[in-house]
Structure 1
Amino acid sequence: METFHWQVAPNMSEKAEPKIKTIKLGDGYEQRIRDGINNDLRSYSVTLKVLREDAQHINDFLTRQGGLHAFKWREPNSHRLITVKCPSWTSNVMNTATTITATFEEVVA
């Protein structure tokens, strides 16, 4: 499994949306339980500001994964090495620099 080693900008956002199952019982009562053992996987919106030549390496890496294959990434806030996939990314090419915005979704395998 490959590792994403480029540094992301510090203004990264992290989304937590635990999966739960809810059963409505009537009279306003409901029962809630976790949906699976890995129900609290995170999603990250990351930005990379790099030189144009580095942007090509990042685009090549993400294209190789194709949104399908998972890769390792060190989450900047906790410094944990986690497994993620990248289903989408955009590149904004300027004169000498490129800004890449990507979504990293934590996965189990």
Structure 2
Amino acid sequence: MDRIKKQLKKGTLEIIILSLINRKEMYGYEIIQKLEQASDGFYTLKEGSLYPVLYRLEDSGLIESYTYQQEGKRRVARKYYRITEAGANQIQSYISGWKEFVHVTNKILRIGEE
């Protein structure tokens, strides 16, 4: 079962990250925290798993990044990610495809339950 969960997580990561960034511009560590919180711990990512996904989304033109340095004691520059127009459009396509996938999968898994 763990193998199946791992494959499902990997297969849904891009749409989930894109959806989070669509709601709010975020930096990498913030994405990790929000993802874990929103999924009640189901999705626990390390930076080494997150950044390749972010780079793919950015290379595809679905998100873009910018650096922002906050004023204050630490003055840490963070790389933030925001959705592009193409990314916002892609989310709708992903959601439609996801709904179809879930519907068909549920239909198949229910074979023999009648």
- Normalised TM-score (structure 2): 0.26
Higher relative contact order (CA closer than 8 Å, sequence separation 6+): 1
User: In proportion to residue count, which structure has more helix?
Assistant: 2
User: In proportion to residue count, which structure has more strand?
Assistant: 1
Structure with the greater alpha carbon radius of gyration: 1
